[in-house]
Structure formats: C-alpha cells, structure tokens
Amino acid sequence: MKAELLYEGKAKKVFTVEGNDQTLVLSYKNDATAFNGVKKDVFEGKGRYNNLISAAIFTYLSQQGVASHFKQTLNDTEQLVEKTTIIPLEVVVRNIAAGSITRRLGIKEKTPFPSPLVEFYYKDDLLGDPLINDAHALLLSDVTKEELEQIKQLSLLVNKKLQPFFTEVGLQLIDFKLEFGRNYTGEIILSDEISPDTCRLWDIVTGEKMDKDVFREGLGDLVEVYEVILKRLEAVK
C-alpha cells in the first residue's frame, strides 16, 4: 500500500499510496518534541494513542457534519487520509488561558475568555511558528479574505463540536491547534491531527493536565495519560 516516504516530521511520517495520488498514509511516531524541537523524547505507545484518538475525533466531527481529510485507520499507528496541500497556517483556538498566551500577554493561566479566541501562527519551523495577524496570513498563504474567514468559522465550529465531546469524557478543552489544506478540487478541508499532542485537555474533576503539557512541564507519565483519554473515549463509543 505505502509507496514512498514523502516527508518525515517531528510527530509523523507521511507516505504516498501506490496507485492513488489523492491519498496519503500518516504514520504516527512515538517521538515527542516541545519548545520548537528543543525538548525531545521517545515514548513507546504514543504513536498508537495519537493515531487512534485523532481517528476517533475526526470520525465524530464527520458525524457532526465537519469534513476532514480522514478516511480510515489502517492499523495501530497509521491512517489513510485525503492528500491536501497544507496551508502554512496553524490555527489556535483558545477557551481558557494557558501556554504561550500567558507568557506573551501576561494573562494568568486558567483565565476563561468571554468568547473563544482564534489566532494564526505562520507554520515555519525555522522562524519558530510566529504569531501573525490576518494581513500577514493573506500575505504568506494563497488564501483569500473570504477563505480566511471560512477557516476561522470552521475552527470555531470544531471548538463548538469538540467541547461537549470532551466534556462527556470528563475533560475540559482549553485550547487546540488545527491545520487546513486544499484537496484536489481546491476545497479547504481540515487536515493533520487532533490529539492530546495538539490540544490542551484538563480533567474536569481534578484539574489535572492530560495532554502534551505532561511532557512539556515534566508532570508525569505521558503515555499513561494518553491511554486514559483513549479508554474514556472508547467507553462512551
């Protein structure tokens, strides 16, 4: 099925598919990186959890009418997706202050926002994914003003859909990052992954961090936490 390795990123490998140039295989790795690749480690089992959690989230979103690149899981660590040309924007949606916004703007962690914030970052590792405004986004990507607005609205819709999804398994959705791409028809669709690597999730009862911050902040066993998330999702399926 897999033809050749197209790209190896920090968290996934991307393979072409024999005989089908409109699909790709995403292979989730066990590697964890933080602070733009400065902190690194390998966690046995992490690739499997992120693959299965991401698949569960994309499946739910599709049931809710939010299309994505996800087609099917192939095995524990791999999924088949629709090939897109990734728009070099990382879209972050925030419900509660945590992470970079607390450092950048001095907002205390745990401060809720009256309505969700949408931020754009320029997807460029060499530049450290800088925060950009709408004018920069239009300059640095091929999206039109209307498409940028569409991306914002889609990101807010994903937030609206994911909040009750996580509440049902006792998790509060603090913030998350999305990537979008264009498929062969030029349509913009949700791509990449949605997992505890790309979301902040806090246990509703204990307030415990149950996402990549466990690694970023050295709070405990990352894989154990990801396993709890998958188990909770499977229990409500």
Which spans of this chain sit near ligand ADP (rule: CB under 6 A)?
Answer: 7, 9-12, 14, 24, 69, 81-84, 86, 179, 181, 191-192
User: Does position 198 bind ligand UDP by CB under 6 A?
Assistant: yes
Question: Which 136-195 positions form the footprint of ligand UDP (CB under 6 A)?
Answer: 175-177
Task: Give the one entry of ligand ADP, ligand UDP, none that residue 199 binds, where binding means its C-beta sits below a cut-off of 5 to 8 angstroms depending on kind.
Answer: ligand UDP
Nearest to 87 by CA among 154, 22, 183, 13: 183
From 51-59, 70-78, 95-103, 223-231, span contacting ligand UDP (CB under 6 A)? 95-103
Which residue, judged by CB position, is nearest to ligand ADP in the bound state?
A: 9
36 close to 160: Cβ distance less than 8 angstroms: no
Residue 106 Cβ, how far from ligand UDP at the closest point, in Å? 14
Task: Give the one entry of ligand ADP, ligand UDP, none that residue 177 binds, where binding means its C-beta sits below a cut-off of 5 to 8 angstroms depending on kind.
Answer: ligand UDP
User: Does position 199 bind ligand UDP by CB under 6 A?
Assistant: yes
188 close to 180: Cβ distance less than 8 angstroms: yes
Task: Give the one entry of ligand UDP, ligand ADP, none that residue 192 binds, where binding means its C-beta sits below a cut-off of 5 to 8 angstroms depending on kind.
Answer: ligand ADP
Instruction: Name the helix (H) or strand (E) containing 220.
Output: none
Q: DSSP string of 17-81?
A: ETTEEEEEEEEE-SEEEETTTTEEEE-TTHHHHHHHHHHHHHHHHHHTT--BSEEEEEETTEEEE
Residue from 52, 122, 129, 229 in contact with ligand UDP (CB under 6 A) = 129
Task: Tell the residue number behind the tokens 């003003």, with chain if given.
Answer: 145
Tell me the three state secondary structure of residue 164.
helix
Residue 119 Cβ, how far from ligand ADP at the closest point, in Å? 17
Q: Which is nearer to ligand UDP, 82 or 175 (CB)?
A: 175
Residue 131, exposed/middle/buried by CB under 10 A (0-12, 13-18, 19+)?
Answer: middle
Task: Give the one entry of ligand UDP, ligand ADP, none that residue 67 binds, where binding means its C-beta sits below a cut-off of 5 to 8 angstroms depending on kind.
Answer: none
Instruction: Name the helix (H) or strand (E) containing 159.
Output: helix 145-167
Distance CA 40, CA 196 (A): 16
Task: Give the one entry of ligand ADP, ligand UDP, none that residue 81 binds, where binding means its C-beta sits below a cut-off of 5 to 8 angstroms depending on kind.
Answer: ligand ADP
User: Does position 12 bind ligand UDP by CB under 6 A?
Assistant: no
Residues that bind ligand UDP (CB under 6 A): 90, 92, 99-101, 129, 175-177, 198-200, 212
